[in-house]
Amino acid sequence: MKILIIEDDAKIIESIRFVFQVGWPEANVISSKHGEEGLEMIEKESPQLVILDLGLPDIEGFEVLKQIRLFSNIPVVILTVSGEEENIIKGLELGADEYITKPFKPLELIARVKKALKNHLVSQSGTEVSLDYGNLRIFLAAQKVQIDNQTIKLTSTESLILKYLASNAGMAVPNDALAEHIWGNIYPDCNKAIRVYIRQLRKKLEKDASNPQLIITRPGIGYMLVKPG
């Protein structure tokens, strides 16, 4: 397992490297302090996952993410100091699989990296099967859906959430159950992260994201995928 860190702070790189040496010694951690070099390393080194900082000295981290998504669907975990919701939304819109803020908790970092890898493998494997919900078709072994005959790409986490809601269609899924399904446990601010993912799904799937008819909120409980009438 090879993991690429794109981060300009040498202390952060060494901290992440130490976390993996202790918590996941099988992982081979490589690094780059520059975005352009990091992009080249993805193509040359073929890592299984990228941990990406947003504040890089040569190009913005968001631009690195854009470039990655032009040629690869490798899982990308953003690890940055900015916890502003607009940056979280932008990162997920551009195709990040996870967004973690600094300072990070070592066990949480490893858990979420492993979950991102697992989600990616699940979304890439298996015979293609689809579920139909009215005008929505969900492909179970791919990160995509079709709605009104238009194909829409999803991130691995968005795909995981939608499939879980679909498996419980017509029933409200509690936030804690979603968090357990996505990350394997419940961590601080997980409800905020889920809210952002749901917002992104609505923007991709709903005719009017501000007035959702497909993925609705059950106040005090969680979210529900509405069964077609």
Residue 105 is assigned to a structural domain of this protein: yes
**Cα 93 to chain center, whole Å?**
10
Same domain, 162 and 64: no
d(CA 46, CA 25): 19
Angle at 162 between CA 173 and CA 2, to 5 degrees: 115
Residue 58 lies in a domain: yes
Q: Beta partners for 5?
A: 31, 51
Alpha-carbon distance of 170 to 27, in angstroms, equals: 41
Domain match, 16 and 96 both? yes
Instruction: Report yes or no: 227 and 133 within 8 Å, Cβ to Cβ.
Output: yes
pLDDT of 128 = 55
118 and 189 belong to one structural domain: no
Q: Clarify whether residues 216 and 159 are in a common domain.
A: yes
Alpha-carbon distance of 224 to 205, in angstroms, equals 14
Would the pLDDT of 95 be above 70? yes
pLDDT digits (tens, 9 = 90+) for 126-149: 545 677 877 888 887 677 888 888
In a domain, 116, yes or no: yes
- For the chain, the average pLDDT equals 87
User: Do 101 and 161 lie in a common domain?
Assistant: no
218 is in which domain, residue-wise? 153-225
Q: Is 207 left (phi over 0), alpha (psi -120 to 50) or beta?
A: alpha
In a domain, residue 144? The reply is no
Q: What percent of the chain has pLDDT over 90?
A: 43
18 and 96 assigned to the same domain: yes
Residues 105 and 28 occupy one common structural domain: yes
On whether residue 27 sits in a domain, the answer given is yes
Q: Are residues 7 and 93 in the same domain?
A: yes
Q: Give yes or no: residues 36 and 108 share one domain.
A: yes
pTM above 0.95, yes or no: no
Q: CATH code at 214?
A: 1.10.10.10
If asked whether residues 118 and 170 sit together in one domain, one would say: no
104 is a domain residue: yes
Please report, for the domain that includes residue 21, its CATH number: 3.40.50.2300
* pLDDT at residue 191 tops 90: no
Residue 90, pLDDT score = 86
Clarify whether residues 103 and 160 are in a common domain.
no
pLDDT one-digit tens code per residue, 15-27: 999 999 999 999 9
How many structural domains does the chain have? 2
How confident is the model at residue 129, as a pLDDT? 63
- Tell which of 123, 141, 173 closes a domain: 123
DSSP 118-181: HHHHHHH-S---EEEETTEEEETTSSEEEETTEEEE--HHHHHHHHHHHHTTTSPEEHHHHHHH
Asked whether residue 220 falls in the same domain as residue 115, the answer is no
